[in-house]
Chains A and B, each alone.
Chain A
Amino acid sequence: MVRSRFPFVLAALAVMVTTGCDRCAESGCDTPDCNPAATPYELEIPPFFPPMDIPQDNPLTVEGIELGRLLFWEKDLSADGSMSCGSCHLPEAGFADPNPYSTGITGSQGVRNAMALINIGWAPSYFWDGRALTLEEQILEPVSHPDEMALPWADAVDRLQATESEVNAAINYPDLFEVAFTDRIISPELVTKAIAQFLRTMVSADSKFDQWRRGELSLTDDEFAGYEMFLREGGDPETTPGGQFGGDCFHCHGEAGLQFSDYLFRNNGLDSTFVSDAGHASVSGNPLDSGRFKTPTLRNVALTAPYMHDGRFSTLEDVIDHYNSGGVPSTTVDPFMKYTTGGLALNSMQKNQLLAFLHTLTDTAFVSNPEFLDPH
């Protein structure tokens, strides 16, 4: 059995709590973005996590978060009233889509797998290609995208605004916006701000691995062996300097800040050409970014099948086999996929141990948290 052994525990506890709008609480509102009618919300930063940078123009408030939750699950934000944001980010699938591609209201499909919504308040960019740099910017896209909810934003805000005069409306959105943002006039900007507030509260930090890190329980021998595999360099030390016969996972899915992602863009050897999807190159314009996609977090990875930007792998076993094979060489393949000529050569037992470790990252309390589920 294995127990916590990290010497920097004390330092990791340094920044525990981020105050969403502490200036409001202390002295009343003295900035244009502060709202005296809303209640500041203190987001607890879990042990070992980095601070979360919350935009100064969108501080967390109790009312803003609850409004964001209503809007996230609001089907009236789709053209035919059949889909909400949550339709493609299912709790039971780790707030991801269990299908390789999400199907929009018209029946057309996107070109990439919907990313899991988990700890995304720490991400420095959004979408597989990183084309949005803020959550607020990211949220703008699915509502009006013709392959998704297909509702022009002008129509979306009109619908929400109209609830004010609907006698039988279950929710009077202008009232809620007024409390959350001191503005009864609903705009796309305020809608995205509210949803972003809600998404920033979707913090997962209670997986078995987290509990182990906090010294609350032990990992099994296989889980810990898998963790060690995760942290070891890949390759045969006889042929690869520094090789440790490991899984070589930690380079991109590092445990710094317990994010299990470096949030960088990488070509992990899926394809040799990138005609159908250039990845980050479509954003940066740099050919060296062809085939590069954002490293997703491994948190709740056992729940978020299928895998990769196009959902090509159905199981975690398929994913491990891909990395074990070394992937496909190309002009932009990541140097960490350096074993494209031989793979990691993990045996069945090692692969199972790695799998056991990945399952320790499942946080069932997160996906069943009633504060994140559909309130309608």
Chain B
Amino acid sequence: MKFQTPLCTILILGMTASCGLFRSEDIEPIPGTVRLETALQWNGENYAVGNVTADAFGHPFRLDNLQLYMAPVEFRSEDGEWVSSDDVFLIDYGEHGKNLVLPLPAGAYSAVRFGLGIPPEINTDIDPASYPNDHPLSVLGSAGMFWTWSSGYIFVKYEGKFALESGQQLIEPFSYHCGTDASYRMVTLELDNLLNIQSHEVTAASLKLDAAMALMSENDSINVEFDPVTHNAGGDSLGGRMMDFLVHAWSIEIL
């Protein structure tokens, strides 16, 4: 059997070959490196997946799985220009010490912004099998985070158990899977101080996600008791609401 490899596929592979997490030895001759250390919170307190807490409605609540895609990640330089990384990151908050490591030209930066989810141009119609297996969009790299070729990737997976009342066993499941192009969001975080990147040095910042904020905003909230599920490949509004909430669930601190 003879196969032809079209030019577009070659381009896709060429683009994606550079994706993924950079190691320090990979970044020469890029001048500097920023390491975003991911941290999880619940109502402002440190939180770990698997711990029991309480949601805004008083339900005993346990997050069992929180994964999300970020792409692209960009930093705003002093002259206002956004410096972009083409990398795609899959953050699994069940794994400890998951950091985003990016090359960044030396300079001072005043803000960071990132896409929450997968940009529409690479979300659908690209076969995950066309990526190398260590890529976060590959078949193995996206395990559990890919719907279908037409609906694309799950941008945010937020799963766990809750109980209807205190003292009860946590066996009620909730499962929020947010995705589809319409759910893609951009998050922009202004830095309190300039992030100074030095040549050949690593600068670290803590990127904090408050998981409680995924279920509420100032004027709206999601009650797991009544809305425990969304798999919004069908475009229902619950996933979109959660993505809107998540835009405001982040903070950053230079370390």
Q: Report A's interface with B, CB cutoff 8 A.
A: 6-8, 10-16, 47-51, 53, 122, 124, 231, 233, 235, 240-242, 244, 250-251, 254-259, 262-264, 286-288, 329-338, 340
Contacts and interface: CB of A to CB of B under 8 A. Distances in A.
Interface stretch (B35-43, B130-138, B183-191): B130-138
Nearest to B235: A242
B136 to A, nearest CB: 13
B171 A16 contact: no
Contacts of B12: 11, 14
B110 interface: no
Interface stretch (B19-27, B213-221, B225-233): B225-233
B6 A333 contact: no
Contact of B174 (A48, A255, A286, A335): A335
A331 B169 contact: yes
A15 B170 contact: no
Contacts of A48: 127, 129
Nearest to A259: B139
Contacts of B174: 335
Nearest to B157: A335
Contacts of A231: 148
Nearest to A240: B229
A343 to B, nearest CB: 14
B175 A338 contact: yes
A49 B234 contact: no
Contact of A256 (B4, B125, B146, B228): B146
B169 A262 contact: no
A204 to B, nearest CB: 16
B232 A51 contact: no
Contacts of B132: 51
B59 to A, nearest CB: 15
Main secondary structure on A side of the interface with B: loop
Nearest to A17: B3
Nearest to A234: B231
Nearest to A124: B140
Contacts of A250: 147-148
Given A122-B140, A241-B229, A257 B129 contact: yes
Nearest to B65: A335
A7 B125 contact: yes
Interface centre among B65, B143, B227, B236 (most CB of A within 10 A): B143
B203 interface: no
Contacts of B171: 329-331, 333
13 contacts: A7-B149, A8-B127, A48-B129, A50-B138, A124-B140, A231-B148, A241-B238, A242-B232, A244-B234, A256-B146, A257-B139, A329-B171, A337-B173
B199 interface: no
B205 to A, nearest CB: 29
Given A14-B13, A242-B232, A256 B139 contact: yes
A333 B236 CA distance: 25
Contacts of A242: 229-234, 236
B133 A47 contact: no
A7 B126 CA distance: 9
Interface centre among B3, B128, B173, B230 (most CB of A within 10 A): B173
Interface in B106-132: 125-132
A291 B77 CA distance: 49
A10 B127 CA distance: 9
A6 B149 contact: yes
List the 3 closest A-B pairs by CB distance, nearest first. Answer: A335-B175, A257-B139, A12-B127
